[in-house]
Structure 1
Amino acid sequence: MTKISIIGLGWIGLPLAQLLIKQGYDVVGSTTSSEKQTTLKASGVNAIQFSLVPFPQGKGFQELFTSEVLVINIPPRSRTTDGKFYLEQLKFLRSMVDQSGIGKIIYVSSTGVYPDENRQDAYTEEEEITEATTGNLTQLKGESTFQGIRELTIVRFGGLLGDDRIPGKYVAGRDNVAGHTRVNFIYRNDAARMLAWIIEKELWNTTLNGVAPVHSLRKDVYERNVLDLGLEAPKSYQNSSTENDRIVSGDKILSTGFDFDYPDPLDFPYSL
């Protein structure tokens, strides 16, 4: 039985763990909270309390590094920090990986690494990204931390939404909302399913975008939330634009045979 470790049993890591357990894998994951560890264990998920501060801290966390596959799912807090602490965390994590027998790694990244510029052509995994052109330098440096691992796959997720993450909630009642651009979203469980698919199909040594194939207008997504959930609508929108959008292609994962349960963000399920 293949053993899989998940660093970060959070919003994506937990449904991934639950899915992998159902599929028959031996799964162990980490959480920084002792309370959450207790709750997770009670629900049948083997959870270990483990923190990177930035050095490793916890009890029994060595078990996380006895698996064949490691999923690294600890996003940087790029909006509130300069990213240095996050990159130090990853350096310690890389050191522990190098001392282990782990040979297969999925590093969860973000489509934020692509340039911020709008253009006619969609951004694909073959895009050449440099420190000068990236939209998220911390995330790009995070990806490079694990280069050289024998079998490394980088997954760049778009906006992770669905369930209690409701895009219309963030713009309710606001003025001058940007609604004319198209989105690069993915539903929470589709993101978890995609990671499980990569492991099942042995899709190693590659980079894959995790983006739903339909790029709906932001305004349409917001208005759908208003209609379905009774949220307050934005008070006004910015003037529409005929300029290009910043679209990220999800065609590569589709070419492997993966199907999205929710290919259109207008259909994502939400709950208040």
Structure 2
Amino acid sequence: MSDPTIRSEVIEGVGVVTLDAPARRNAFDLAMCDEVCAVVDELEADPSVGALVVTGAGTAFCAGADLSHLGGGHGGSHRDGLLAVYEGFLRFARSPLPTIAAVNGAAVGAGMNLALACDVRLAGASSRFDTRFLQLGIHPGGGHTWMMRNLVGPQTTAATVLFGEVLSGAEAERTGLVWRCVPDDELLPLAIELAGRAAAAPRELVERVKATIGDMGSITDHVHAVDRELGDQVWSVGQPAFAEKLAALQRKISSTS
């Protein structure tokens, strides 16, 4: 059996997933994609975990995917091989937990998809965002163009996908591809700090809020948005956590009056 290519640990309620194949710059192969699914399944099953962070070992985040075996394994067809590779990043897209990509170096092709699949992207100063599909003679896949267009608009999508523009961390922040670009040594601590804020809240509440944000993409008017939130807000008001926080606030107000 080959050595594991995924490491995971839990830090103050945050599940930190590290792609750990630096010799190939953390590029996905089918075994790594299977490992990603197993590790995320395990972390989601742990009730102490309230958010996820994914990053890469060494100097790369994820340098794409090994496309040499697309016709082998998982059914033997190109379609099945591609779908199996997609699982390396789609598993994060499907997570009910808040997810942060801590992009510590090159994010190429499927590696960009991994970053795009997360709720928030943070970039280290040495990060690079490179779609590279066209340059490899392959059509974008895994929802790449949809994720990019929804996030940064048609012009930045065209510049990167069609015209091969590679974005630095600072340029990714300017275009809205990432939330923040920070010095490399601050990247993972910041990602864990941000994720920890979500992990500190009641897990079911956080999952409901994330689901609501996702649903808002298909809602086109304020009336329906109010209705979508109402049921979950009513539920939250009836939860012990809200009662505890309300009582604490009332005690604080009383002590200062």
Q: TM-score, normalised by structure 1?
A: 0.30
Instruction: Give the TM-score normalised by structure 2.
Output: 0.32
